[in-house]
Amino acid sequence: MDFVHDQLVTGRRIRVLTIVDTFSRFSPATDPRFNYRGEDVVRTLERVCGETGYPKAIRVDQGSEFISRDLDLWAYQKGVVLDFSRPAARQRVAWRTARGGKAGRQRLHRKPQRQIQGGVPERASPLSLGPMALQRQLHEP
């Protein structure tokens, strides 16, 4: 459940509450309004759940409409778990990508070795390496 934002020709902003079942990709509601509060989200959910039934969990972000007392009380009364996304997920992914990129380059320039039963290092099988390492091994003496 999340919001989509748009602007009309007149310059007025509009928000659309989109509710999507992540398993079936079925969207039971898209509710457009000019402004939304927590109680508006609860009204929309009551209408939708009256038609389709109550879910076990709803994934939401940290928006003010989703962290409101109204929605929290509704979810508690109906036995629905609110699954909040982590606010800093994008920064962690970017950090991991940057670190993985550097580590990946370091791994590429290292000569892969493995131990065999006798304890003598042996070159790794080209099939167990990635395509860049395989290409490097084919062109090395």
Q: Are 75 and 82 in contact (CB under 8 A)?
A: yes
Query: Based on C-alpha coordinates, what's the Rg of the chain?
Result: 26
Same domain, 67 and 30: yes
The pLDDT of residue 102 = 54
Same domain, 37 and 78: yes
Same domain, 14 and 77: yes
Same domain, 7 and 76: yes
Burial 123-139 (b: 16+ CB within 10 A, else e): eeeeeebeeebeebeee
The pLDDT of residue 36 = 87
Q: Copy the structure tokens of residue 8.
A: 């009309």
The pLDDT of residue 111 = 54
Cβ count near 60 (within 10 Å): 18
Same domain, 40 and 77: yes
- Tell me the mean pLDDT in the region 33-41: 90
Same domain, 17 and 65: yes
Same domain, 109 and 43: no
Give percent above pLDDT 90 in the chain. Answer: 29
Residue range 67-107, pLDDT digits in tens: 888 889 999 999 999 888 876 655 555 555 555 555 555 55
Which domain, by its residues, includes 99? Answer: 89-139
98 burial level (CB within 10 Å; 0-12, 13-18, 19+): exposed
What mean pLDDT is reported for the chain? 75
Same domain, 9 and 61: yes
Domain boundary residue among 46, 61, 84? Answer: 84
The pLDDT of residue 84 = 85
Residue range 104-130, pLDDT digits in tens: 555 555 555 555 555 545 555 545 545
Number of domain units in the chain: 2
Same domain, 44 and 106: no
Enumerate residues 6+ apart whose C-beta is below 8 A from 16: 3, 4, 5, 6, 30, 31, 32, 33
Same domain, 64 and 101: no
- Tell me the whole-structure pTM to 2 decimals: 0.58
CATH of the domain at 33: 3.30.420.10
Same domain, 37 and 73: yes
Give percent above pLDDT 70 in the chain. Answer: 61
Same domain, 14 and 79: yes
What backbone phi and psi angles, to 5 degrees, belong to 28? Answer: -75, -15
